[in-house]
Amino acid sequence: MVRKEKSAAVAFVESAERVEWVELVLRDGRTLEGNVIRNPIRRTGTVVNAIQETRIDFKIDDVQAVRPVDDPRLTGLS
């Protein structure tokens, strides 16, 4: 059995799935914030932003960086 190495983009998106709210930086310069859902078969993902009520699809290979950020839905709550 041949084992394929993960690309950096795949590793970024996998880590983003484990965090509530992330900032995703794409190669074209766009920055997206929200929750990440990944489709490993199609090698795509979706960023869902509940605050702005948006859902944006992206190709996993287009991911340049992922940064965890504070969830704005929880800001100000005690």
pLDDT in tens, 38-54: 998 999 999 999 899 99
| pLDDT beyond 80 at 8 | no
- Are 66 and 15 in contact by the 8 Å Cβ rule? The answer is yes
SS3 37: strand
Check: CB of residue 64 under 8 Å from CB of residue 27.
Answer: yes
Averaged over 33-39, what is the pLDDT? 92
Give yes or no for residue 77 having a pLDDT over 60.
Answer: no
What is the rounded CA–CA span in Å between residue 45 and residue 62? 10
Taking the C-alpha atoms of residue 64 and residue 46, their distance in angstroms, rounded to an integer, is 15
| Residue 7 pLDDT greater than 80, yes or no | no
Closest to 33 (Cα-Cα) out of 76, 69, 59: 69
Domains of the chain and CATH, by start: 8-68 (2.30.30.100)
- Asked whether the predicted pLDDT for residue 76 surpasses 70, the reply is no
Query: What pTM value is reported for the model?
Result: 0.75
